[in-house]
Amino acid sequence: MSQYAHPSRPAYPSEQPFSGGGQFYRGAGTPVDSLAGKKHMQLSLAFGFLSFWLPIVFVPLALIQAGRAERLGEPSTAGKILAWTAVGYWILSAIWAFILYAFIASQLPMLLDSVPPVYSPPV
């Protein structure tokens, strides 16, 4: 009989069945994990915004924080979308800069021929 048994009610076991020997398992969804997940989600969003200015540093940080937040049960789609959008923005900017450079380089000989010399050697 358990220590909480009373004559008016039946006795119940003092230990919970399937408790694993009194170990406490803290899985995803506990308040501590929820707060940590929200923190990682917010960091992912902030790093996603900052990745438009310095993508080499902040894109990996945004993706890492988004992964941590999702492992803790918090959706962090916005941070991932911002990070990958910044990657696309920088790739398109690099392509545009290359095309602009190639156009200027192709026109440079014609532009230099049309400019009169500043100094002409004596004849």
Amino acid code (one letter) for 29: G
pTM of structure: 0.62
Report the pLDDT value the prediction gives residue 22, as an integer from 0 to 100.
47
3-state SS, one letter per residue, for 33-88? HHHHHHHHHHHHHHHHHHCCCCHHHHHHHHHHHHHHHHHCCCCCHHHHHHHHHHHH
Rounded Cα gap, residues 84 and 78, in angstroms = 10
Report the pLDDT value the prediction gives residue 28, as an integer from 0 to 100.
53
pLDDT, one tens digit per residue, over 70-94 is 999 899 999 999 999 999 999 999 9
- What average pLDDT does this structure show over 105-120? 81
Report the pLDDT value the prediction gives residue 61, as an integer from 0 to 100.
96
Helices (H) and strands (E) in the chain, counts: 3, 0
